């Protein structure tokens, strides 16, 4: 029993300082010894100076010999052999200063490589260091006990204190303020309302709150991330193994060149000079540093890549296959529109449906309840709720029978039109009725991610030449999504086995990446050269077989990862090529007797430092997108939030247009028209005007110019013109009745405004709001 915070083990400052000392101590001591020898030399004590440099050479030679012998015992053959021969040769020809410089050079390379490795993997280590070990659990008698994390089970009621790490995936029981940066990469705090789900690993940045566990610790999001992070070390990529093969050819070439120089000139010192210049091989330094740097960068962008090989493959990819649901679309249905019977109330239909569905675990039920809460519709407690699989839910709300689900019997004319509209738009329909018949229908959509089309464009710019969408959905719905996002091909009604077969076929032609989020995607992910799982959705099976996991629910992170992988690979090849080319030139000069060992040692030191520093460039750069200033992010966040209200007005606008089209003489027609016009004037037009004044000028920098928003400004003008046109028709109908001759023009204005406004909102969300880091965007590389 107790209240201490769940344990989290960060790296202590003393331990960090000790590791830094161990990392840099050999180089520091060897450098000081060489400088001491130089001081003795200039003081005229040359014998002592040579003795100090000889000692430095021996100190470096002993561990180098030991390392080389261990590698040879393991049948590993690398350039350490050249380092040993160079140090030994320097001692034999009494070029002690050259030997000392080689020693410093080897220590410098080791220190810089260790620094780069630690610098590149610090984000991965941070995941491991802050993993929770304990949790606070409520007891049956109302107390709180601290238990090991392994003891937590689904359904347990936990308490998350201020500053605590959320130990398991769960549902918050009261409002919470969270720091989700470790899991999502987003540095800004987010609020979660009661009933919302949270992932393990996020930090409580506000007051304590209750949490109902949904999974045990081993199955939770953070545990999966930690497992992957533990594997995401710099295991040798195919690029690095290629470097080893080059090294196997380079060592014999070096020995032959050194031997030829000795035999042809009769000067052993030339052979030593060749060995000195060839030590160590830049290829083996530059490649792993660049690859590990790339692993670190993609981790900071919210993508955990399993190993260096996967990163290198990602950098070579030419074909991309994407699942639709949960990858290109949000994967969570939302209420797009509510259609009601003549004289019905949209809010009342939504209230009845959401009230009954509160007890249903179905994904469509969750969408209805979420929509009602977002619109502030008060829900009643249902009674006598029963659910018939495949048909729907029945219950009583305020004493009245309510049915939610499939439509039974012959539909009335308005319901038939609503069903046809839903089928044409690719929407799902949930019918709401009572004992007398249908009251209305709620049309549900799985919206395309706002960042999907922009991400597809960025992937093409990064070098992916073929993008294919694979889905088990209906052909019409799949084709609509494919047209919106701009992929090259679409394969609908695709079973898990067919997905895997298609990935195999594409992989035979080019390096292929497969992106998916569900358990059914696991076979396809395993078949791809690089399988990428949308891990933020909690698809454990797909994440377990994937080579990379997106820890944030944003597809644009994949484009980040591809761009970073290509950049890291390009830096690795560039560094290795330049370093090897310079080394070979220096070796030829040394073989000709134009470069003595001491000068060669200093030259090779410079070459090695050059390629290592160049490889470290992989820690930054390579991303094409522009960063958004904080003030602009706030504006994007504000106006994005207002789109929900605009869409509500849009739904009213469509209902009113349908009413005018079908029953223009209805007494309620003009009042409905006046109400929607009032909301357009009071809510929509001020929103558009504020965007024009504040948001669009702020976007000029991130988008490159003021002209980037000019077409959207033109849409604002058209929206205002159509609203004024509708107002003109109302002004011409003071008696509350529409003139027959005006109905056609009024309908053109209503439906035209509906189309323009819907397109305008979609364009803003795709082109502007998808730039907003508050939707999960990682902060810039830092």
Q: Side by side, which strands form the sheet with 190-192? A: 190-192, 176-179, 203-204
What CA–CA distances, in Å, run from 277 to 67, 96, 597, 761?
20, 15, 8, 63
**Concatenated DSSP letters for 667-715?**
TTHHHHHHHHHHHIIIIIHHHHHHIIIIIHHHTHHHHSSGGGGHHHHHH
Distance CA 289, CA 327 (A): 32
Residue 405 pairs with which residues in a beta bridge?
A: 392, 431
To which residue do tokens 């915070």 refer? 5
Distance CA 498, CA 496 (A): 5
Tokens of 678: 């009032």
Asked if 525 and 533 count as a contact pair (C-beta separation under 8 A), the reply is yes
Tokens of 605: 């030191």
Residue 329 pairs with which residues in a beta bridge?
A: 448
Distance CA 436, CA 415 (A): 14
Asked if 228 and 221 count as a contact pair (C-beta separation under 8 A), the reply is no
Task: Give the up-direction half-sphere exposure of residue 198: CA atoms within 13 A in the CB hemisphere.
Answer: 34
The helix/strand/coil state of 562 is: helix
Distance CA 190, CA 209 (A): 14
Distance CA 339, CA 361 (A): 24
Distance CA 703, CA 33 (A): 55
Q: Compute, in degrees rounded to 10, the torsion defined by CA atoms 495, 501, 506, 507.
A: 130
3-state helix, strand, coil in the chain (%, to 5): 60, 15, 25
Distance CA 202, CA 776 (A): 13
Distance CA 489, CA 504 (A): 16
Which residues have C-beta within 8 Å of that of residue 381, sequence separation ≥ 6? 355, 358
Tokens of 329: 């679309």
Q: Phi and psi dihedrals of 442, rounded to 5?
A: -110, 120
Of the candidates 80, 156, 323, 556, the residue annotated as catalytic is 323
Distance of CA 600 to the CA centre of its chain: 46
Q: Is the dihedral of CA 303, 304, 306, 307 positive or negative?
A: positive
State the CB neighbour count (10 A cutoff) for residue 489: 12
State the CB neighbour count (10 A cutoff) for residue 481: 23
User: b/e map of 156-166 (b: 16 or more CB within 10 Å)?
Assistant: bebbbeeebbb
Verify whether residue 323 is a known catalytic residue. yes
Residues classed as catalytic: 323
């Amino acid at each position: 029993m107790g209240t201490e915070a769940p344990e989290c083990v960060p790296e202590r400052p003393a331990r960090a300082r000790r590791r830094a000392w161990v990392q840099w101590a050999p180089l520091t001591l060897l450098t000081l010894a060489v400088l001491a020898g130089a001081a003795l030399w200039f003081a005229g004590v040359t014998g002592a100076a040579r003795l100090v440099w000889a000692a430095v050479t021996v100190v470096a030679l002993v561990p180098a010999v030991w390392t080389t012998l261990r590698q040879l015992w393991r049948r590993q053959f690398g350039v350490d052999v050249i380092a040993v021969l160079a140090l030994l040769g320097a001692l034999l020809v009494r070029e002690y200063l050259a030997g000392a410089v080689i020693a410093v050079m080897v220590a410098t390379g080791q220190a810089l490589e260790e620094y780069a490795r630690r610098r590149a993997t610090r984000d991965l280590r941070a995941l491991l260091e802050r993993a929770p070990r304990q949790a606070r659990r409520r007891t049956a008698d109302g107390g709180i006990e601290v238990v090991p994390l392994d003891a937590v089970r689904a359904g347990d009621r936990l308490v998350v204190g201020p500053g605590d790490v959320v130990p398991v995936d769960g549902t918050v029981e009261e409002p919470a303020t969270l720091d989700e940066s470790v899991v999502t990469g987003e540095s800004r705090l987010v609020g979660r309302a009661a009933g919302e789900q949270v992932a393990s690993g996020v930090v409580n940045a506000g007051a304590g709150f209750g949490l109902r566990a949904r999974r045990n610790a081993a199955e939770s999001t953070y545990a999966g991330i930690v497992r992957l992070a533990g594997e995401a070390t710099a295991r040798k990529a195919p690029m690095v193994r290629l470097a080893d093969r080059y090294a196997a050819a380079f060592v014999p070439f070096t020995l032959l060149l050194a031997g030829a120089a000795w035999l042809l000139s009769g000067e052993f010192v030339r052979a030593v000079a060749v060995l000195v210049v060839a030590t160590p091989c830049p290829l083996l330094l530059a490649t792993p540093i660049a690859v590990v740097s790339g692993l670190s960068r993609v981790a900071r962008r919210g993508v955990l890549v399993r190993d260096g090989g996967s990163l290198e493959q990602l950098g070579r990819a030419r074909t991309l296959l994407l699942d639709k649901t949960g990858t290109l679309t949000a994967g969570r249905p939302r209420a797009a529109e509510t259609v009601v019977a003549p004289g019905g109330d949209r809010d009342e239909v939504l209230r009845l449906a959401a009230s009954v569905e509160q007890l249903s675990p179905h994904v469509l039920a969750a969408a209805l309840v979420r929509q009602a809460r977002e619109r502030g519709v008060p829900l009643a407690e249902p009674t006598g709720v029963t659910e018939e699989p495949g048909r729907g839910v029945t219950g009583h709300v305020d004493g009245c029978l309510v049915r939610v689900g499939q439509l039974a019997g012959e539909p009335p004319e308005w319901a038939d039109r609503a069903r046809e509209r839903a089928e044409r738009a690719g929407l799902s329909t949930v019918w709401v009725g009572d004992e007398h018949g249908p009251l209305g229908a709620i049309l549900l959509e799985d919206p395309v991610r706002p960042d999907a089309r922009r991400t597809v464009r960025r992937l093409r710019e990064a070098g992916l030449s073929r993008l294919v969408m694979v889905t088990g959905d209906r052909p019409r719905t799949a084709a609509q999504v494919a047209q919106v996002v701009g992929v090259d091909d679409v394969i609908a009604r695709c079973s898990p086995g067919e997905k895997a077969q298609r990935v195999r076929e594409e992989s035979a032609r080019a390096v292929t990446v497969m992106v998916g989020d569900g358990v059914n995607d696991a076979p396809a992910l395993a078949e791809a050269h690089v399988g990428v799982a949308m891990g933020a959705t909690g698809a454990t099976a797909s994440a377990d077989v994937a080579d990379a996991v997106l820890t944030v629910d944003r597809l644009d992170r994949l484009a980040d990862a591809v761009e970073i992988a290509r950049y890291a690979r390009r830096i690795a090849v560039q560094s290795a090529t330049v370093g090897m080319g310079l080394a070979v030139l220096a070796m030829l000069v040394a073989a000709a007797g134009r470069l003595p060992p001491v000068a060669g040692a200093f030259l090779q030191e410079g070459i090695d430092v050059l390629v290592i520093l160049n490889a470290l460039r992989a820690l930054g750069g390579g991303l094409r997108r522009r960063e958004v200033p904080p003030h602009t992010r706030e504006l994007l966040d504000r106006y994005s939030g207002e789109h929900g209200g605009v869409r509500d007005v849009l739904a009213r606008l469509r209902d009113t247009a349908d009413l005018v089209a079908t029953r223009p003489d209805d007494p309620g027609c003009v009042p409905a028209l006046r109400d929607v016009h009032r909301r357009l004037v009071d809510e929509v037009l001020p929103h558009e005007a504020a965007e024009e004044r504040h948001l669009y000028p702020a976007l000029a920098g991130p988008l490159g110019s003021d002209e980037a928003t000019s077409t959207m400004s033109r849409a604002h003008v058209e929206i205002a013109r159509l609203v004024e046109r509708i107002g003109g028709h109302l002004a011409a109908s003071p008696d509350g009745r529409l003139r027959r001759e005006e109905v056609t023009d009024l309908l053109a204005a209503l439906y035209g405004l509906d189309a323009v406004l819907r397109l305008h909102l979609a364009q803003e969300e795709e082109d502007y709001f998808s730039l907003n880091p508050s939707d999960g965007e990682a902060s810039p590389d830092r």
